Amino acid sequence: SHEISSGDILYAMVFRPYNVQPGKKYPTVLNVYGGPEVQMVTNTFKDMRFLRIHMLASQGYCVVSIDSRGSYHRGLAFESHIKQRMGTVELEDQIEMLFWLSTELDVIDMSRVAIFGWSYGGYLSLMGLAQYPDIFKVAIAGAPVTSWSLYDTGYTERYMDLPSNNPQGYKAGSILTYVNQFPDEENRLLIVHGLIDDNVHFSHTSSLINQLIKKGKPYQLQV
């Protein structure tokens, strides 16, 4: 745990590589979710999510998970930090904690950091690569939300209000606003999405791909 600059205390989990050697730094994967109603850092085993983490650790990666402001089981005030501004404070917290962890633990190589997540985590993975390409060398975005105007109203309006009442929040929270900022180098962005996803519809990814093509930004897609 660590008190960040906002005064909030955040919690993290670090999975060291299975073959870890003292004094050696390892490529690191930030396994992110970051959205409301989910808590990543717990004392319980989270089925497939943790299996993926252990698979990465067995391959020689350091894996980090952080519950940033807006996550679950910390009270309404903690969760409401992202009210009407999804996609902003979450990444600020994740990055601040990641840098702190890299100074506390001699295993994280900050020159080789990837960001990976699914659903809201896929959304933040895209945001991370677009807004912080010097920190995140690679992003793997699974079933990402790309614009809150495309997601279901019951969830979206609970946290973002109506688009007519919060146009700036919807614009700032849309990946499509930052397409120009995606890296020009190959092999830095992988998007994974199912065509029959009934939660985050494939239209999120197709809308992003249309803009990436228009801007000449490289990407890889797995459907």
What is the structure's pLDDT at 178? 98
Residue 50's pLDDT band (cuts 50, 70, 90): confident
What is the structure's pLDDT at 142? 98
What is the structure's pLDDT at 213? 98
With a pLDDT cut of 90, the percent of the chain lying above it is 83
Helix, strand, coil percentages in the chain from 3-state DSSP, rounded to 5: 35, 20, 45
pLDDT at 78 over 80: no
- What's the total number of domains in the chain? 1
Give the pLDDT confidence of 11-28 residue by residue, as tens digits.
999 999 999 999 999 999
Q: Which residue has the higher pLDDT, 183 or 35?
A: 183
- Count CB neighbours of 163 within 10 A: 15
pLDDT at 59 over 90: yes
pLDDT at 92 over 90: yes
What is the structure's pLDDT at 74? 78
Could you give the strand order of the β-sheet that contains 108-118, starting from the edge strand earlier in sequence? 2-3, 9-15, 62-67, 26-31, 108-118, 138-142, 189-192, 220-222
Contact 103, 79 (CB under 8 A): no
The 3-state DSSP class for residue 61 equals coil
Kindly report the CATH number assigned to the domain that includes residue 51: 3.40.50.1820
The 3-state DSSP class for residue 182 equals coil
Is 111 exposed, middle or buried (CB count within 10 Å of its CB: 0-12, 13-18, 19+)? exposed
Residue 48's pLDDT band (cuts 50, 70, 90): confident
Give the pLDDT confidence of 124-143 residue by residue, as tens digits.
999 999 999 999 999 999 99
pLDDT at 61 over 90: yes
| C-alpha–C-alpha distance, residues 144 and 121, integer Å | 7
Mean pLDDT of the chain: 94
| C-alpha–C-alpha distance, residues 70 and 33, integer Å | 10
pLDDT at 80 over 80: no
What is the structure's pLDDT at 17? 97
What is the structure's pLDDT at 186? 97
Write out the two tokens for 138: 């690679």
* Residue closest to 2 by CA, chosen among 49, 64, 84: 64
Is pTM, for the whole model, over 0.85? yes
What is the structure's pLDDT at 147? 98
The residue type at 153: T
Tokens 């000449």 locate to 216
What is the structure's pLDDT at 38? 83
| C-alpha–C-alpha distance, residues 36 and 74, integer Å | 10
Residue 71's pLDDT band (cuts 50, 70, 90): confident
| C-alpha–C-alpha distance, residues 171 and 7, integer Å | 27
Which residue range(s) make up the domain with 154?
2-222
pLDDT at 45 over 80: no
